[in-house]
Amino acid sequence: MTILKLPTFAPSTLTNAASLIRILALAFIAGAAISSRLFAVINFESIIHEFDPWFNYRATRVLASQGFTEFWNWFDPTAWYPLGRVVGGTIYPGLMATSGVIYNILHALHLPVDIRNVCVLLAPGFSGLTAWATYMLTKELKDESAGLLAAIFIGIAPGYISRSVAGSYDNEAIAIFLLMITFYIWIRALKDGSVLYGTLAAVFYFYMVAAWGGYAFITNMIPLHAFVLLLMGRFSHRLYSAYSAWYAVGTLASMQVPFVGFQPVLTSEHMAALGVFGLLQLVAFVETIRNLLASKQFQLMLRWFLIAAGVAGGLIIVGLTVTKTIAPWTGRFYSLWDTGYAKKYIPIIASVSEHQPTAWPAFFMDLHMLIFLFPAGVVLCFKELREEHVFVIIYSVMASYFAGVMVRLMLTLTPVVCMTAAIALSSLLDTYLNVDEPANPDANGVKETATSGAETPVDGTISKKKKKGVAAAAAAAAVTPSIATKAKGRSSAENGIFGIDTRILVIGNAIFMLVMFVLHCTWVTSTAYSSPSVVLASRRPDGSQNIIDDFREAYYWLRQNTPQDSVVMSWWDYGYQIAGMADRPTLVDNNTWNNTHIATVGKAMSSPEEISYPILRKHDVDYILVIFGGLIGYSGDDVNKFLWMVRIAQGVWPDEIKESNYFTPRGEYKVDDQASEAMKNSLMYKMSYYRFNDLFSGAPAFDRVRNQQMPKEGPKLDYIEEAFTSENWIVRIYKVKKEDPLGRDLKTAHAFDGGKRRKPSKPISRRKALAA
Amino acid sequence: MRLLYGVLLLVASLSAAVAQVTHAELVRLAAANNGVIKLNPVLYDALTAPNRQWSAAIQFTALSPQFKCSPCSDFNPSFKSVAKAWSKVHSAERDQHFFATLDFLEGQDVFKRLGLSSAPVLQFFPALEGPSVRPNPQRLEFSYDFSRHGFDAEELAKDLSNHTPIPIPYTAPFNWQPWFFGFTFLVLSLVAGRFAWIYLREIISNRWLWAAATVGLTLVMTSGYMFVQIRGMPYAQHNSMIAGGFQNQFGIEVNLVAALYGLLGASYLALILLVPRIPSPIRQRASVYLWTGILFVLFSILISFFRIKNGGYPFKLLL
Amino acid sequence: MQQRLLSWLAITLTVLASAWARSSAGDKVLVVSDAKLEAAEYSQFWDGLKNRGYELTFRKTSEEAPATSSFDVPSFSHIIVFAPSTKTYPADISPQSLVHLLSDPTQPTNILFVLQPSTPSSPLRDLGREFGISFPPPATPLIDYFNAVSPSNATSLLLTPPVTPHTPGFNGGDVLYSGVAHLRSNNPLLVDFLNAPPTSFSADPLEPADVIVEVAASGGEGFWAGGRMGLVTGFEVLRGGGRATWVGSLDLFRNAATAINGKPTANNAYALALASWTFQETSVLRIDSVEHRRISESSPRDQYRIKDDLIYRIHVSAYNPATGEWEPTSQIDDMQLEFTMLDPHIRTALSPVQGEKGWYETKFRAPDRHGVFKFIVDWRRKRYTALHSSTTVSVVPFRHNEYPRFLSSAWPYYLGALSTSAAFVLFCALWLLGGNEEEKKKTQ
């Protein structure tokens, strides 16, 4: 019994049409994914965003202009002055190599594309590929319709867009694609037991290792999957060959990345993979013997041997870790488990805003309705519980924990949420788009068996949906093939939905949700995630947009008005931008590898001038750059980051810098009259508020970030002088004075220049000591 | 300056005259109480005399239950164990440094004199005369920074070691108790598991049990549980249950949001799994309407909840 | 550096073309004097300078022109300040602008300051403090009953300055000094030329006894007396080689002082000798060029590798006032090179090269530490021009293909890899063969 009579087609026509629609849908999804990431380019311009991308961009330019070998050997004397940075050995080159290859291909095709545009548009481009990879993986979990839904979800979910808008040229831009494709091929390898696919997974794993430090997620997910399958008693030769191929080839390949080196055999993060590899060998060995030998005692012995060998292997790894042969977990990873660890021991890691834990609104903001479809999808995975479903379940548990601990790891959660949500939604659509009605038990036991269930696409509701644009592409494709296959199986089932109104209600509700989702994603992407943070936008009272371009103004000032080799000191957040936009050597940058050097800068910023000055001179600092938001209320400024500078400096010089000295006696962080002496004398405070009072022409100055009234008397500077202040005072640049030519300290020299008289000195009696 | 010293000396000698507290007496008192001298105002003045040839770490605390000072009782064991570790040092060095404690009940006027309004405070008094005077940076009086080092005995020993004549030989006592219980528990559960294997196996291999655990975990995690945990957010505040600000939340919000997500997910599951199994068309239709309604209402609640957090959010449903 | 060399070169050329001025810095001299000062009273000094090729321009402190600099380019190479009594100066010769002119890093203006005890509160006294020179209270000239010309006039002293190679032309003899003493701080840039006699002190000449009584009561504190006090003090600024000299006696330069009681004094010779040091005629050195390269190569690089063997060479010239030319000198035997990143990693002696006059060199091996290094030569000796040179190079680690390729300690790994490959081939061969047999069995 069906609720609608649908036209019949030949099966071949149907499959052809379905695959055509699928391809079209995928193409549209990729288009939607790419175009929703272009808000940044349209609102601002084609520009590299934020901080790390500036380094990646600079490195890519070196790669494009000097070739890969030179890039590999690149020693950058302008970073971490004067220590320099061995760039080739301290980065994941995958991203730069990718855009270098694309750049070269385009040029070989005589398309003279600027390397900057390649870099800006790389992330959107790869998001299309990510959508495809997610489609493939979800197809393995359920079917094509779920796959298409997952593809559109990942295509526009803000959780992934936040890291892949045009211009955010960071490792994550390609890493999520690699993550999904590696997982997909792993699942394929596991399903087929194919060594070829296992090797292919290893190849993509290698690409991932070369591209992102987060590869450790794969390194631990796949072994965990294998291990859980073992525990569930699902050992198979498919698992054995897929895992062995992946591990052996993948580990060898990953060691070819200079930055990774011997880590895969020496650090704790990689030990799980090694352990599971060993365990699988043992289990496979035992299985083989068991199949060959029949004796029961022998099998029992084997089982004990297996257990003993496993325990021994585990003990060896533990022993090696204790004796430090295997490096313990690095701070970054360890802080994921022991959440108080970073704050206590590595303030640099804790100071990064994207390493903070995630509050619930961030989850909803990034995933909207997917976040509650997620548990539903997980339950559906439990319903089937094939090997790939086990994988998704493990993935969702791990990723949701990690995303809760660290905001930036929302990125790894997003794909699994999209997949499970797609499974849930497509199951819903499957159920309610099925035109077959079950036999009505009330209708006098007349059991009609529906026969023509297979040929029933598209009634009024669906065509309505088509007008809904993006959502329609996914949903429409969801309908056609699945009904074709599933309905046959279910046609005689007693379960099903009665009536057409129920169907319209549920489907309508689902479509409504999808529309809300699309609107939400568009809104979030355009307002929250498309700011380059190099250029800021604000609204004027009349609603028009006001572009604040202080950063570039200041960086270009540095580039054009200072000698090429003048060293610029700033807090590490701005190191990459100065190197990229101003092209000047910096003391510290966002590659926070040397804590002491950062602490040195922290100390210079938090000490009084006369203590900072020798530090500045020792490091050949010519200019100091500070970010000050007090005038226009830009809250991410250096005074708000100042406590981290103090804290980090205190870690190295606990006797000289004390955090408590920078608070008022009542424990408040103040910059006004009540600010502590240490605070008022610190170089950072002085540089931020130098001549700030002058702006208010007599009226008391007011800091709009901290909402405090400044003291009447502004700070004075003797050892440095103001060189440049940007339009909105966000960036202030100071020049460090040279030693006084007359050998005075600069405070005296400055007083003399100001026309002040020095106190006359008197001869000291040489006989005083005797007299006393 | 000299005058001040003179006055202080006078005061000290007066009090010393009263109590006749000598260095030997202090050593005896310390030895009598596991290395910690129990102070009273007289002893305090003797111990911190301006001509002292020894250094001292004095814990100002309020241990009696009427003050309800839980940090005091948190810190006291650490202090005691470090002092005990010090009492094991060879007497030549040991008698150059004392650990002492002064309870608020015993020495209110000392607290008042020092202007202490909170407890616990650990103050270090360096030696001012004699052979154990230390070079400059270690010569200052200072109070131990709890906010930085915490109440841990190990940290305390490490920090104080910079100022004592020789480093404090403190090693964290190996805590046998959890290991012992853990091992016993493991053996017992193994034995029990061996006999109850048939039932246990049912439980362990019950996939819906695992499903419930997994879903529970993901719900809790995606509702910001870790945020509350790491930041130590309160469960709720008196006047409001919802914390202001986008990057902020209270403990109770974890429950609310997890419940919302759970119910929304459950209503989808009901529509997918349960509803098609209902054999009667009328009851089925009713439940479809019911679940869809629940879905819609809950979603509206969720969005309005989100609008509280994020004032600029432009979309709204029923609420 | 380049600019400085060029300017020197230009100056040298013009000097050679015009006449032969003795100074390495230029021959234009501005004499700034008090309004009341009679220039003719010092004509012997002026003539002496003119004979040495200097062009003198006179200007009273009450006048505004000629300016000391136009558009921030100094107009004169040297300034003589004969204005101890003026209380306010025009803006372009205010203490601040004099310091500014003197400390110009590329084209410094040398200055000769002359004071007089009668000066009540000249700005020069305050200016002296900036150099690290402090003066006794006003109107307290130097008094010495042991070296006085006559007991009745204890403020006119006959002193014997030391003969040094830095003050050529002065070959000993007595100098009549009547003026003020000063106290030098421990500023390392100060150079002492003439100290007060140990028996001298500063006091009001009308009531010297009062001062001594007063000071004796207070245990000697604040007593301006003894051989520590300076009378003539030179000063060399930190960068640029500008020189200033403080002389406490205007009378030293007076025509009348060239003879006392019919006996000639060495005053004029000494004054001109002081001027010759101040105007950078003597003890002037410069670095002409600096070279660095790998020992095995002939041209320099921007970056070297760790453990490279490097050679560093520096060429130093001294100015010869007799010929007015720069001549290479190998006289310096205590020059050092530092190879510095934050701290000196290598500090080694730069020794003169045999047979190549003016060249100093050192060979060393770059440290096993990559980073941005500087070759620093910083040679500072009193009375000589300071030599300072800093060259930045980076020291990079090995390139990826510069490491040793085959390691003997890695043989187990090579063997392991080879044996595994061999075993794999063997296994494949056997497996393929075995497969055939199985099929045969099946077909049978």
> Domain of A749: which CATH number?
3.40.50.12610
pLDDT at A447: 41
Question: What are the DSSP calls for C34-53, one per residue?
Answer: -TT--GGGGHHHHHHHHHTT
Closest alpha carbon within chain C to A748: C130
Closest alpha carbon within chain A to C98: A753
Q: Which residues of chain B neighbour A506 with C-beta distances below 8 Å?
A: 271, 288, 292
Q: Which chains touch B (3 or more CB pairs under 8 A)?
A: A
CA A670 and chain centroid, separation: 34
Residue A373 inside a domain? The answer is: no
Confidence band for C212, pLDDT divided at 50, 70 and 90 = confident
Residue A732 pLDDT greater than 80, yes or no: yes
Range(s) of the domain holding residue C335: 285-396
**Model confidence over A94-147: pLDDT tens digits?**
999 999 999 999 999 999 999 999 999 999 999 999 999 999 999 999 999 999
What contacts A335, CB < 8 A, 6 or more positions away? A341, A342, A346, A349, A350, A355
Residue A463 pLDDT greater than 50, yes or no: no
Confidence band for B169, pLDDT divided at 50, 70 and 90 = confident
Instruction: Clarify whether residues C39 and C127 are in a common domain.
Output: yes
Give the Cα-Cα-Cα angle A169, A535, A555 (nearest 5 degrees).
Answer: 90
**Model confidence over A490-514: pLDDT tens digits?**
444 567 888 888 999 999 999 999 9
**Listed range (A471-480, A659-668, B143-152, B298-307) with the worst mean pLDDT:** A471-480
Residue C98 inside a domain? The answer is: yes
Min CA distance, A109 vs chain B (Å)? 46
Subunit contact A75:C222, Cβ cutoff 8 A: no
Longest dimension (CA), chain C: 146
Run of H or E including C245: strand C243-247
Residue A516 inside a domain? The answer is: no
CATH number for the segment(s) B2-160: 3.40.30.10
Residue pair C252/C270 in contact (Cβ under 8 Å)? The answer is yes
Confidence band for B18, pLDDT divided at 50, 70 and 90 = very low
B153-160 and B70-87 helices cross at what angle (nearest 10)? 50
Q: For tokens 């993935």, what's the residue?
A: A395
Asked if A385 has any chain B CB less than 8 Å from its own CB, the reply is yes
Q: Which residues of chain B neighbour A390 with C-beta distances below 8 Å?
A: none
Confidence band for A600, pLDDT divided at 50, 70 and 90 = very high
Residue A696 pLDDT greater than 50, yes or no: yes
- What is the C-alpha separation between A433 and A475, in angstroms, rounded? 10
Min CA distance, C187 vs chain A (Å)? 7
B229-258 as b/e: b if 16+ CB within 10 A: bbeebeeeeeeeebbeebebbbbbbbbbbb
Subunit contact A358:B215, Cβ cutoff 8 A: no
Q: What is the CATH number of the domain that holds C371?
A: 2.60.40.10
pTM above 0.90, yes or no: no
Residue pair B58/B121 in contact (Cβ under 8 Å)? The answer is no
- For A82, the closest of C126, C239, C341 (CB atoms) is C341
Residue A280 pLDDT greater than 80, yes or no: yes
Asked if C376 has any chain A CB less than 8 Å from its own CB, the reply is no
pLDDT at B139: 53
Subunit contact C188:A565, Cβ cutoff 8 A: no
**Listed range (A109-113, A321-325, A718-722, A761-765) with the worst mean pLDDT:** A761-765
Within A73-114, where are the H helices? 94-108
Domain boundaries, chain B: 2-160, 206-309
Instruction: Clarify whether residues C273 and C297 are in a common domain.
Output: no
For the segment A625-640, the average pLDDT, to the nearest whole number, is 91
pLDDT at A332: 67
- What is the C-alpha separation between C247 and C267, in angstroms, rounded? 13
CA A644 and chain centroid, separation: 22
**Model confidence over C57-100: pLDDT tens digits?**
999 988 888 889 888 899 999 999 998 888 888 888 889 999 99
- What is the C-alpha separation between A160 and A148, in angstroms, rounded? 17
Q: What is the CATH number of the domain that holds C17?
A: 3.40.50
Neighbours of A129 (CB within 10 A): 17
Best CA proximity match to B300, nearest among B260, B247, B256: B260
> Residue C263: exposed, middle, or buried by beta-carbon count in 10 A (0-12, 13-18, 19+)?
exposed
pLDDT at A529: 86
Asked if C323 has any chain A CB less than 8 Å from its own CB, the reply is no
Residue C290 pLDDT greater than 90, yes or no: yes
The single-letter code of the amino acid at A752 is F
Tell me the β-bridge partners of C371.
C395
For the segment C264-286, the average pLDDT, to the nearest whole number, is 92
* Listed residues C231, C261, C278: the one ending a domain: C278
- What is the C-alpha separation between A34 and A54, in angstroms, rounded? 21
Asked if B30 has any chain A CB less than 8 Å from its own CB, the reply is no
**Model confidence over C306-362: pLDDT tens digits?**
999 999 999 999 999 888 889 999 989 999 999 999 999 999 999 999 999 999 999
Confidence band for B238, pLDDT divided at 50, 70 and 90 = confident
Interface of C with A in 92-131 (CB under 8 A): 95-96, 99, 102-103, 105, 126, 129-131
The values of phi and psi at residue C12, to 5°, are -55, -45
Q: Are strands C142-143 and C201-202 parallel, antiparallel or unpaired?
A: antiparallel
Question: How many structural domains does chain C have?
Answer: 2
Residue A57 inside a domain? The answer is: no
Asked if C160 has any chain A CB less than 8 Å from its own CB, the reply is no
Subunit contact B247:A519, Cβ cutoff 8 A: no
Residue C409 inside a domain? The answer is: no
Asked if A403 has any chain B CB less than 8 Å from its own CB, the reply is yes
The values of phi and psi at residue C234, to 5°, are -95, 165
pLDDT at C126: 86
Percentage of chain A exceeding pLDDT 70: 89
Q: Are strands A702-703 and A708-709 parallel, antiparallel or unpaired?
A: antiparallel
Percentage of chain A exceeding pLDDT 90: 55
Best CA proximity match to C107, nearest among C241, C226, C308, C197: C241
Confidence band for A770, pLDDT divided at 50, 70 and 90 = very low
pLDDT at A449: 41
Neighbours of B308 (CB within 10 A): 13
Best CA proximity match to C229, nearest among C340, C133, C320, C316: C133
Asked if B270 has any chain A CB less than 8 Å from its own CB, the reply is no
Classified as helix, coil or strand, B39 is coil
- For A498, the closest of B261, B281, B299 (CB atoms) is B281
What contacts C64, CB < 8 A, 6 or more positions away? C90, C92
Asked if A506 has any chain B CB less than 8 Å from its own CB, the reply is yes
- What is the C-alpha separation between C138 and C121, in angstroms, rounded? 7
Asked if C134 has any chain A CB less than 8 Å from its own CB, the reply is yes
Question: How many structural domains does chain A have?
Answer: 1
- Can you list the positions of beta strands (E) in chain B? 36-38, 55-61, 97-103, 121-125, 142-143
Residue pair B233/B243 in contact (Cβ under 8 Å)? The answer is yes
Longest dimension (CA), chain A: 129
Percentage of chain C exceeding pLDDT 70: 91
Within C248-309, where are the H helices? 267-278
**Listed range (A118-127, A357-366, A459-468, B221-230) with the worst mean pLDDT:** A459-468
Run of H or E including A664: none
Q: How many CB pairs under 8 A join A and C?
A: 107
Neighbours of A282 (CB within 10 A): 17
- What is the C-alpha separation between A418 and C199, in angstroms, rounded? 97
Subunit contact B214:A340, Cβ cutoff 8 A: no
pLDDT at A519: 94
Question: Which phi-psi region, left, alpha or beta, contains residue C324 (left: φ > 0; alpha: ψ -120 to 50)?
Answer: left
Residue pair A358/A407 in contact (Cβ under 8 Å)? The answer is yes
What contacts C6, CB < 8 A, 6 or more positions away? none
> Residue B25: exposed, middle, or buried by beta-carbon count in 10 A (0-12, 13-18, 19+)?
middle
Subunit contact C221:A766, Cβ cutoff 8 A: no
pLDDT at B190: 85
Confidence band for C12, pLDDT divided at 50, 70 and 90 = very low
**Model confidence over A32-80: pLDDT tens digits?**
999 999 988 888 888 898 889 999 999 999 999 999 899 999 999 999 9
Residue pair B201/B124 in contact (Cβ under 8 Å)? The answer is no
Q: Are strands C190-195 and C230-236 parallel, antiparallel or unpaired?
A: antiparallel
Longest dimension (CA), chain B: 102
Residue pair C180/C249 in contact (Cβ under 8 Å)? The answer is yes
Q: How many CB pairs under 8 A join A and B?
A: 169
Asked if A653 has any chain B CB less than 8 Å from its own CB, the reply is no
Asked if A497 has any chain B CB less than 8 Å from its own CB, the reply is yes
pLDDT at C98: 92
Residue A54 inside a domain? The answer is: no
Range(s) of the domain holding residue A658: 549-753
Instruction: Clarify whether residues C226 and C329 are in a common domain.
Output: no
Q: For tokens 């009505």, what's the residue?
A: A440
The values of phi and psi at residue A150, to 5°, are -60, -40
Residue A290 inside a domain? The answer is: no
Residue C440 inside a domain? The answer is: no
Instruction: Clarify whether residues C160 and C295 are in a common domain.
Output: no
pLDDT at A1: 62
Residue C431 inside a domain? The answer is: no
- What is the C-alpha separation between A89 and A261, in angstroms, rounded? 9
Min CA distance, A118 vs chain C (Å)? 28
DSSP 8-state assignment for residue C182: B
Min CA distance, C95 vs chain A (Å)? 9
Give the Cα-Cα-Cα angle C121, C127, C129 (nearest 5 degrees).
Answer: 100
Subunit contact A372:B261, Cβ cutoff 8 A: yes
Instruction: Clarify whether residues C265 and C322 are in a common domain.
Output: no
Task: Select, from the ranges A421-425, B234-238, C151-155, the one with the highest average predicted confidence (pLDDT).
Answer: A421-425
Interface of C with A in 223-242 (CB under 8 A): 223-225, 228, 235, 237-240, 242
Distances (CA, A) of A604 to A116, A607, A686, A739: 35, 6, 12, 17
Residue B12 pLDDT greater than 80, yes or no: no
For the segment A510-530, the average pLDDT, to the nearest whole number, is 91
Run of H or E including C425: helix C411-443
Best CA proximity match to C139, nearest among C98, C84, C200, C57: C84
Interface of A with B in 100-159 (CB under 8 A): none
Distances (CA, A) of A297 to A284, A287, A291, A309, A310: 19, 15, 14, 18, 20
